[in-house]
């Protein structure tokens, strides 16, 4: 773990990778659905393919962010977690992991991981944390968990509990690779750590058709799985109530999007014994 006490660090800030505007990226498509500005025509084409056939995708975007806020709030306030490893973070929007966690406990350390050059280019926006804590960004691919763990250890103390955040990213990983990656990451974390995760599910014919259409234009396909398959990633962990459920139904708060909408994403939180 690094002794650097500065509020943020940055991997190779002066040499960002080139941005390929001819290939889609899920972070940019999601940013488009959320009403952001960090996307290209190829991303909008793919995003429109989905939203035209499944307008509820905007609800899913909003309810997934609300889920993240509730999860990080619980882990910080109730579970006492002060370290977060957020893989597949995407573009900075409102209420990012570090903003929620450090808003409760300013000393929190947060490491973001993504492999999109445009996200890297916006990393400085992500890295505005508190003076007491640390917010870092790693340019790495989820399919290389060893590299992630090695770089994250420069900021996080792997002798203390860490919350592993895999929010909407495992849908990009093939079935045969998903569980080994999750287990590799969890295996490096000490007892008392947490896994927080959600992904889109094949619980709606309209959503299935929309994702299939979007995948035809996307360079990194997204795989919809059953709720049972999403729950399988938590095997061997102590699952928190209410279990693996549609994101809007995980400990909802007053004023959030109706629990009758945005139901085609299932998520949960579990503790490593």
pLDDT digits (tens, 9 = 90+) for 209-225: 888 887 876 667 899 99
pLDDT score at 10: 43
Q: How confident is the model at residue 3 (pLDDT cuts 50, 70, 90)?
A: very low
Mean pLDDT along residues 189-211: 94
Least reliable range by pLDDT among 19-28, 69-78, 131-140, 170-179? 19-28
Strand partners, 201: 225
Mean pLDDT along residues 40-50: 82
pLDDT at 75 over 90: yes
**What value does the mean pLDDT of the chain take?**
86
**Residue 153, C-beta contacts closer than 8 angstroms, at least 6 positions apart:** 1
User: What is the phi-psi region of residue 262: left when phi exceeds 0, alpha when psi lies from -120 to 50, beta otherwise?
Assistant: left
Residue scoring higher pLDDT (45 or 91): 45
| Residue 186 tokens, joined | 């969890």
Domains and their CATH numbers in the chain: 26-252+261-272 (3.40.50.150)
The pTM (predicted TM-score) of the whole model is 0.84
pLDDT score at 11: 47
Tell me the per-residue pLDDT of 124-138, one tens digit each, with 9 for 90 and over.
666 678 889 999 999
| Residue 206 tokens, joined | 């309209």
Q: How confident is the model at residue 28 (pLDDT cuts 50, 70, 90)?
A: confident
Q: How confident is the model at residue 101 (pLDDT cuts 50, 70, 90)?
A: very high
Compute the half-sphere exposure of residue 228: CA atoms within 13 Å on the CB side of its CA: 0
pLDDT score at 5: 35
CA 149 to CA 156: how far, in whole Å?
Answer: 9
| Residue 78 tokens, joined | 């109730």
């Amino acid at each position: 773990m690094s002794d650097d006490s500065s509020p943020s660090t940055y991997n190779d800030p002066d040499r960002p990778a080139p941005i390929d505007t001819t290939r889609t990226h899920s972070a940019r498509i999601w940013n488009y659905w959320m009403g952001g500005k960090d996307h290209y025509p190829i991303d909008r084409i793919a995003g429109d393919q989905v939203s035209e056939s499944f307008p509820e995708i905007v609800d899913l975007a909003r309810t997934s962010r609300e889920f993240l806020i509730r999860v990080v709030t619980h882990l910080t306030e109730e579970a006492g977690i002060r370290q977060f490893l957020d893989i597949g973070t995407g573009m900075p929007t409102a209420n990012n992991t570090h903003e929620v966690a450090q808003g409760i406990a300013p000393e929190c350390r947060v490491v973001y991981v993504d492999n999109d050059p445009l996200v890297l280019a916006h990393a400085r926006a992500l890295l505005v944390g508190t003076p007491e804590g640390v917010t870092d960004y790693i340019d790495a691919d989820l399919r290389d968990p060893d590299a992630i763990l090695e770089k994250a250890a420069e900021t996080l103390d792997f002798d203390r509990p860490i919350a592993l955040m895999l929010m909407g990213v495992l849908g990009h990983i093939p079935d045969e690779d998903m569980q080994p990656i999750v287990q590799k990451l969890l295996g490096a974390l000490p007892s008392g750590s947490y896994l927080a995760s959600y992904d889109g599910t094949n619980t709606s014919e309209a959503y299935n058709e929309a994702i299939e259409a979007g995948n035809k234009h996307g360079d990194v396909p997204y795989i919809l799985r059953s709720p049972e398959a999403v729950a399988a990633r938590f095997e061997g962990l102590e699952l928190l109530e209410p279990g693996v459920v549609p994101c809007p139904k995980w400990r909802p708060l007053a004023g959030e999007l109706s629990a009758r909408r945005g139901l085609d994403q299932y998520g949960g939180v579990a503790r490593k014994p």
